[in-house]
Amino acid sequence: MPKRSAETVATSPEAVASRLAASRYLADESLATAIFLAIRLGKPLLLEGAPGVGKTEAAKAIAELLGRDLVRLQCYEGIDAAHALYEWNYQRQLLAIRHAGEHEVDIYDDRFLIARPLLQVLKAPEKRVLLVDEIDRSDHEFEALLLEFLSDFQISIPERGTIRATAQPIVILTSNRTRELAEALRRRCVYHWITYPGAEREAEIIML
């Protein structure tokens, strides 16, 4: 898909709504405005609402209208850095040590590093759209980890140093509001609550 700059796409809320409609996603004025502001300001977009109102589909449509790949991090109870950031492939490290014999081997080389969604978007040569889906299913510790990531778009790997974003991703978080999110996280985002569509809008969606 052709890649488009945010400046070209997000010229106004009306332009955003029009381009989303071309991607078969109908956004009302308030949602289109929130998306416009998030893209232009370079801030994460936090979409809250009941299940099934179109939060995840909005993220997919945004990625399509920008012509960018979507990287999805599905949150769940107990998610941690190893599932969201990175982990080392210990089996490959052990095999490399055995095969190396008396020779030195760098077991912290990139080939032993398993990049999870957050690291994937940092290392990507081109801007990605990062979807952090159902953030409310995670715990407060993971929220703190994510907040640190969003602050500077970088992570520190003790054995490798700091890895910074090659291109700052566009970040979209969704929540079903099964619990209240930390105020620090909410303040960092452009916020929008998505409601169920009315009968007229629902008919328009069906006709797409």
Indicate the length of the chain as a whole number: 208
Residue 170 pLDDT: 94
Domain coordinates of the chain in residue numbers?
A: 43-207
Q: pLDDT of 131-165, one tens digit each?
A: 999 999 999 999 999 988 888 899 989 998 999 99
Q: Are 170 and 35 in contact (CB under 8 A)?
A: no
Amino acid at 7: E
Amino acid at 47: L
Confidence of residue 11 (pLDDT cuts 50, 70, 90): confident
User: What percent of the chain lies above the pLDDT cut of 70?
Assistant: 91
- Give the Cα separation of 84 and 185 in Å (integer): 17
pLDDT at residue 24 greater than cutoff 70: yes
Q: What is the CA angle 9-36-58, rounded to 5?
A: 90
- Provide CB contacts within 8 A for 26, sequence distance 6+: 20, 197, 201, 204, 205, 208
Q: How many CB atoms lie within 10 A of CB 166?
A: 15
Q: pLDDT of 59-116, one tens digit each?
A: 999 999 899 999 999 999 999 999 999 999 999 999 999 988 878 889 999 999 999 9
Q: Are 179 and 53 in contact (CB under 8 A)?
A: no
Asked: is 43-207 a CATH 3.40.50.300 domain? The reply is yes
DSSP designation for 72? E
pTM above 0.95, yes or no: no
